[in-house]
Amino acid sequence: MSPTQKGKFCDSCQKEVIDFTKLSSTEIARKTKNATQLCGRFTQSQLKQEYVSTSQNRLNRLGIALGLGSIVAIAQPGFAQKKNAKEVKVQTQKDYQLQG
């Protein structure tokens, strides 16, 4: 690696080296979110972590909350109108006359 104005330049991958050692997990996730290839310096503990973008994490939580809310809304029985039971009397005529 050769020194540059911004830090160091990696001769093997021909990219500027990003120093991640002093960045927080959120900053690392933000910088690596859309990067397909990058060259960086990490600590051993940083290499063992998994980084997730906070905006994607919020969307996942929102989706889960909306899904659970929908299930609860559907599972509740609807009581919009209460049915009044009415007794209906049916009268039948016992004697039928057949005409032939």
- At 54-87, the pLDDT tens digits run 555 666 777 888 887 777 777 666 655 566 667 7
Instruction: Average the pLDDT over 24-51 and give the result.
Output: 83
Which region holds residue 86: left if phi is over 0, alpha if psi is between -120 and 50, else beta?
beta
8 Å CB contact between 7 and 19: yes
The first and second tokens of residue 25, run together, are 């997990």
> How far is the C-alpha of 41 from the C-alpha of 18, rounded, in Å?
6
Q: What local confidence, expressed as pLDDT, does residue 59 receive?
A: 66
Judged against a pLDDT cut of 70, whether residue 37 lies above it is answered with yes
